[in-house]
């Protein structure tokens, strides 16, 4: 019984940690694409260029 609880505890901890990693990466991607969008809209005076050559086409679809 003790081993089952230990394994269940590890599984829950792993699930919570891996979910956090996903949301961190998602937040970073949104921020990066927002800065690229700002760079384009303000013609290079704000934000930053797409120096990592990421595909930010999905970000355009999320804007109102």
pLDDT tens, position by position, 7-64: 999 999 888 877 777 888 999 999 999 999 999 999 999 999 999 999 998 887 777 6
* Long-range Cβ pairs for the range 58-63 (8 Å, 24+): 58/33, 59/30, 59/33, 59/34, 63/37
Rounded-to-integer distance, Cα 29 and Cα 4, Å: 38
- Is the distance from CB of 35 to CB of 47 less than 8 angstroms? yes
pLDDT band of residue 6 (cuts 50, 70, 90) is: very high
Output the pTM of the full model: 0.69
pLDDT score of 52: 93
Whole-angstrom CA distances from 53 to 18, 33, 34, 49 are 26, 11, 14, 9
Q: What is the pLDDT of residue 64?
A: 63
């Amino acid at each position: 019984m003790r081993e089952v609880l230990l394994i269940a505890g590890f599984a829950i901890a792993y699930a919570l940690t891996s979910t956090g990693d996903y949301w961190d990466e998602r937040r970073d991607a949104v921020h990066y694409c927002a800065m690229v969008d700002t760079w384009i809209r303000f013609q290079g005076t704000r934000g930053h260029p797409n120096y990592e050559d990421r595909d930010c086409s999905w970000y355009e679809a999320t804007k109102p």
